[in-house]
Structure 1
Amino acid sequence: MTENLIKNTLAILIGLSIAMTIILLGATANKQWFDELNNIEIQTKSDIFLYWRDVVAQAPPNFFIALLTAYGIGSIVGGVVTAMFVPQAKQAYAMLIGFILFGIAVLDYFFINQHPTWYFISLLFVFFPFSWLGGKVVDEIQKRNKIL
């Protein structure tokens, strides 16, 4: 029992870290699309939240579309990685990744308070289905390999 708990916890942490890495790479790659961000300077590390608020306030709509795309890709990959490592309930653990990522995105939305409303509504339709899809892919591949 303890062995499964440790294994599941590690699977969640690995899947979550990979998903967050993909999402952060997507966010930092997309900030180069518009020139206004070059005027924002970070004075100290404590200014990173103010910097992100300014990024979100100045971002064009295609930035948020690309960010949602990064969320989708990160959710799928995080769900796949998590599902590969857990022994049972692969889709449930993959959806847990989506739930955690959604919670982080909601915190970002409420603390920064500069995001468009359509972006916030879209988060529900990105994290849960895409993370579930990642778990479903691994589940189907493993079922087919048992049949063959």
Structure 2
Amino acid sequence: MSFEPKFKSLRTALFMVGGAGLTLLVSGCSSVSGLGYEKDLSSVNDASIGLWQGAWITAAVVGVFTAGLIIYSSFAHRKKEGEEFPRQTQYHVPVEIAYTLIPFIIVAVLFAYTMKAETKITDKSPTQVMHDISVNGIQWSWQFTYPEAGANATVT
């Protein structure tokens, strides 16, 4: 039984992987810059997309900062030559207060922006148009009739 390599060379393999990656990258592109929020589709799109983008930007900043701290501490506080154990530190009160308060501050700010956007999104303006709807209960269902829409405006 012989083994035939699928790719003849490393160059072909890299070309295939690069092409697949480029295909995945470009398939997400769109000329519409709304990230799923169509322009003028509803009156709350600006509030929704602003909140969504702000939350993702906050998450990205926190993630990059956390990754940086992890990488820094893994190199700066590793075992030194000639030491049996790395230097042990504990009970650093300012640092402990900081890593306890900072998440609370982030959550409070996100909560405030969420409440501000939610108030705008759920704000109900009084409507001037009144609709008459006749509702009849029939066996196992309801029948809704809209008299202002004409004779064929009955929904069961």
Larger radius of gyration: 2
TM-score surpassing 0.5?
A: no
Of the two structures, which has the highest relative contact order with CA contacts closer than 8 Å and spacing of 6 or more?
A: 1
The structure with more strand, counted as a fraction of residues: 2
The structure with more helix, counted as a fraction of residues: 1
- TM-score, normalized by length of structure 1? 0.29
- TM-score, normalized by length of structure 2? 0.28
